[in-house]
Amino acid sequence: MAIPVLYSFRRCPYAMRARLALAVSGIRYELREVKLSNKPKELFAASPKGTVPGLVLPNGTVIDESLEIMHWALAVADPECWRARDDPALIASFDGGFKHDLDRYKYFERYKSDRFAHRESGLALLNEIDGRLAGGRQLCGSLRGLADVAIMPFVRQFAAVDRQWFDAQPLPRLQKWLAGHLASDLFNAIMVRHAPWSAGDRPSVVDAASPRKVPGHSPAQPR
């Protein structure tokens, strides 16, 4: 029986949130890890954008936007009711202004940017999130939902640029929230390592019941 194929890159925040939704929904799929400096032609054949994540459904339909992949997966199965805890405006603020600042903070040499100005701009939104978390353990209440999972990979990336600085910021609720997501079984399951995919490789299947590589591949390693 044909299963979806996901083109992904392990450390990409967009790909992370797509994998998280696929994992929680219990969808079985083939994972094709992409080396960004040597993208396979099959990725471009599926989507001319050549970006990750890209999900190819068995009927040939291609979904090449991470949020659309999340919504597709959760429409198949949403056992934790993530869609009930969504905040499109908040997610858009991270996909827009925050991502802009994050890139120019992390890759300041590439962008020739004032990294500290962009760090402060990103921090302003994180301060708002820290305040919002005063109302519950997660962004939309006591349980994790789509809003949490959609923005967490970007907060993770921001924190990792200078972890000592991030940990010293007065963001106790946000830091606890992030640590909880990073320590979750769900997150660790989607962060196993896969070798870059090439045509002809044996399929690396992520099982619905347990997000991992099928037997016969090299052992998964934690992040």
What is the domain extent for residue 202?
5-79+192-206
In a domain? residue 72: yes
pLDDT confidence of residue 161: 98
Distance separating alpha carbons of residues 201 and 37, to the nearest angstrom:
19
**pLDDT in the model for residue 220:** 33
Query: Does residue 63 sit in the same domain as residue 24?
Result: yes
Whole-number pLDDT of residue 212: 39
Q: Is the same domain home to 56 and 133? A: no
Residues in the chain with pLDDT < 70?
A: 208-223
Q: Residue 13 domain-assigned? A: yes
Q: State residue 1's pLDDT score.
A: 79
One domain, residues 118 and 56: no
The C-alpha atoms of residue 42 and residue 54 are separated, in whole angstroms, by 11
According to the model, what pLDDT value does residue 211 have? 44
Whether 219 is in a domain gets the answer no
Distances (CA, A) of 205 to 6, 98, 114, 178, 213: 10, 33, 42, 28, 6
Question: Residue 118 falls within a domain, yes or no?
Answer: yes
3-class DSSP state of 63: strand
Is residue 213 domain-resident? Answer: no
Domain membership of residue 155 (yes or no) is yes
Whole-model pTM: value is: 0.92
Q: What is the pLDDT of residue 209?
A: 56
